[in-house]
Structure 1
Amino acid sequence: MSAFMSMALSGVFSLLEFGVSWMWLQAWGQSILIALPIAFLLDMVFGEKLRFFSARLADKAANAWP
């Protein structure tokens, strides 16, 4: 999940900055190298708590749905 999110978000934000170009691909490649270890670390630190919170929230939403 951290790999997908770091690639997707760095791609989107660099695309907004540079538009579709060779410069965008270069910036995206560099930003993935920075974003991936950060996303992995955040997932290891906060992942379990966030998954627990999202599961509780999903259960509440499912129970509230008629």
Structure 2
Amino acid sequence: MMHRDRLQRLAGSLVMSSFMSVALSGVFSVLEFGISWLWLQAWGRSILIAVPIAFSLDLMFGDTLRFLSGKLAHKAASAWQR
């Protein structure tokens, strides 16, 4: 069971970090260059840089951040019900 949990965590980290890297590097590079061939080249390079960084950060801080966001959501839900 432990092996499955670890694979699920790695897959989740990879999917989330890839999505966020692609989306955010696309948005910020299109704001800088506009939609052009230059933008497409810059976006491709930035994705190659951003994905491994985002993946590493998620592996290092992801559990703590998910825990903190869960606590925040719980507090918000408790305050909402009052």
* Alignment equivalent of 2:49, drawn from 31, 34, 39: 34
TM-score, structure 2 normalization: 0.78
Ranges in structure 1 where 5+ consecutive residues have no aligned partner = none
Point out the structure with max Rg over C-alpha: 2
For residues 36 and 18 of structure 1, the distance between their equivalents in structure 2, rounded to whole angstroms, comes to: 21
Which stretches of structure 1, 4 residues or longer, exceed 3 Å deviation after superposition?
none
TM-score, structure 1 normalization: 0.96
Q: May I ask how many residue pairs the two structures share in their alignment? A: 66
SS in 2 for 1:20: coil
Q: Deviation per CA, 1:8-52, whole angstroms, max 9, x where unpaired?
A: 111111011101111111110110000000000000000000000
* Alignment equivalent of 2:33, drawn from 2, 5, 18: 18
